[in-house]
Amino acid sequence: METIGTTAAQALLTPEEYLAKERKALTKSEYQEGRIHAMPGASHEHNIIMGNTFAELHTQLRDRTCIVYPSDMRVKVSSMGRYTYPDVIVVCDEPRFEDSHFDTLLNPTVLIEVLSPSTASYDRGEKFAAYQKLDSLCEYVLISQNSVRVEHYLRQEQTWDLTEFHSLADVFQLGSIGCELSLQAIYAKIEFSQA
């Protein structure tokens, strides 16, 4: 992820300063350790996959108390003030927010990221490590936009179990929210180039 401005010249911001700037900004930026990181624009495939996934979960949860949020809902990941914008968020408890703006969620149940070439390592590594500190988080899903591949992480007390899916015929369970996702639905209208 690229930092806005030059690293040497950029003054560190407090979480409060970041939120004040972010709420006025025309584009989204994540925040980590005092620095703002611009979010790159999403590709055609990224947007379709994110929309498909959101729509599937929204339909399944429509008559339940769980809420599905698209990528404009911010999540506060740590008390140190890391803020992210997951592609899809589900919360099944009463949503808790950082303040009266109701734009920063504190208690996600499921987080889903669509992997971009520029962010895949970060989403699997540093970002996932930070997400694991959220006591409310039960499941983390990574969806590739370049090939049929879904990584599903399920919290098991102090560890996270990984199951991977590589076929459009695969269906996996999101047990913490009582939903299932088929790869056929996630990748609807996506055409992968033939190697």
pLDDT tens sequence across 68-86: 999 999 999 976 679 999 9
Q: Kindly report the pTM of this predicted structure.
A: 0.88
> Could you read off the pLDDT of 9-22 as tens digits, one per residue?
468 899 888 888 88
Domains and CATH numbers, the chain: 43-186 (3.90.1570.10)
pLDDT, residue 7, reads 42
Strand partners, 68: 90
Contacting residues for 5 by C-beta, under 8 A, at least 6 apart = none
From the CB of residue 186, how many other CB atoms can be counted at a distance below 10 Å?
Answer: 24
